[in-house]
């Protein structure tokens, strides 16, 4: 790690902390404000990968993971209306989803980096985001995994309702996951503009022009 990597490390840490705070505040029926900040982690990872390479990108990912674990530990000690702000299932789901999805993002980006400039960031972010959503919401709220934390009542997440209020009947957590995934896909497209701008200005030894 060099001084040049610090902006990426700080950006990842800020995004993770902000997302852990904002996830406590609802935005409509299906989302939290954290859904709009968390996907920026993929942008930071991809910029680091393009400019400095896969190694520094993984370093940023591990820093984000450590910060996320710390935030989860703090959250388990803060009591909300219905218990700890962060349950064991949420902590496990969050950490595993982040680490798996971000490392997958780095691998896919590296495999596609010699193609058109937009292919690597778009493909890696879309696939990584999809895996992130699937892992987190399944571990955190699926009724099939109640054994992970028997004392944590997530029956509310299993309430059967129309998908996003208009579709077929599904458990509530599936609607939450779908809304989260749609935001991630939208931001993956929007993030192409700042990705192009930052990497064009930064350049670096790993840049493929």
**Residue with token string 């493909």:** 123
**Quick one: pLDDT at residue 205?**
52
Q: Is residue 49 part of a domain?
A: yes
Averaged pLDDT, 42-59: 96
Domain-located, residue 135: yes
Count of the separate structural domains present in the chain:
1
Give the model's confidence band at 209: pLDDT under 50 very low, under 70 low, under 90 confident, else very high.
very low
Tokens linked to 165:
């209020």
Residue located via tokens 């749609």: 182
**Residue 174 belongs to some domain of the structure:** yes
How far apart CA 175 and CA 88 sit, in angstroms, is 22
Is 146 inside any structural domain? yes
- Report yes or no on 26 lying in a domain: yes
Average pLDDT, the chain: 92
Please state, in angstroms and rounded to a whole number, the distance separating the CA atoms of residues 153 and 55: 40
Reported as a pLDDT band with limits 50, 70 and 90, residue 196 is very high
Give the 3-state secondary structure of 128-191.
Answer: HHHHHHHHHHHHHHCHHHHHHCCCCCCHHHHCEEEHHHCCCEEEHHHHHHHHHHHHHHHHHHHC
Can you tell me the distance from the alpha carbon of 110 to that of 106, in angstroms, rounded to the nearest whole number?
A: 6
Any domain includes 82: yes
Q: Between residues 5 and 199, which one has the greater pLDDT?
A: 199
**pTM, full prediction:** 0.92
Assess if residue 209 is contained within a domain.
no
Q: Is position 207 within any domain?
A: no
pLDDT score at 1: 59
* Helices and strands, counts by H and E, the chain: 8, 6
- Look up residue 79 and give its DSSP letter: E
Which domain does 114 fall in, by range? Answer: 3-202
CATH of the domain at 88: 1.10.1760
């Amino acid at each position: 790690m060099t001084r040049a990597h610090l902006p990426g490390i700080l950006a990842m840490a800020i995004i993770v902390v902000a997302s852990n705070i904002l996830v406590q505040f609802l935005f409509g029926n299906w989302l939290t404000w954290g859904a709009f900040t968390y996907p920026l982690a993929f942008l930071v990872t991809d910029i680091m990968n393009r400019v400095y390479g896969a190694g520094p990108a993984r370093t940023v990912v591990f820093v984000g993971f450590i910060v996320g674990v710390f935030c989860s530990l703090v959250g388990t000690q803060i009591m909300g209306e219905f218990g700890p702000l962060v349950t064991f299932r949420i902590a496990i789901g969050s950490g595993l989803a982040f680490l798996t999805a971000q490392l997958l993002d780095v691998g896919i980006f590296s495999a596609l980096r010699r193609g058109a400039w937009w292919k690597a960031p778009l493909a890696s972010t879309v696939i990584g985001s999809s895996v992130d959503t699937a892992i987190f919401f399944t571990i955190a709220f699926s009724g099939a995994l109640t054994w992970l934390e028997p004392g944590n009542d997530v029956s509310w997440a299993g309430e059967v309702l129309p998908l996003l209020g208009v579709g077929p009947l599904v458990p509530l957590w599936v609607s939450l996951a779908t809304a989260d995934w749609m935001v991630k896909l939208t931001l993956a497209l929007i993030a192409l503009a700042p990705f192009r701008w930052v990497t064009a200005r930064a350049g670096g030894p790993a840049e493929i022009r």
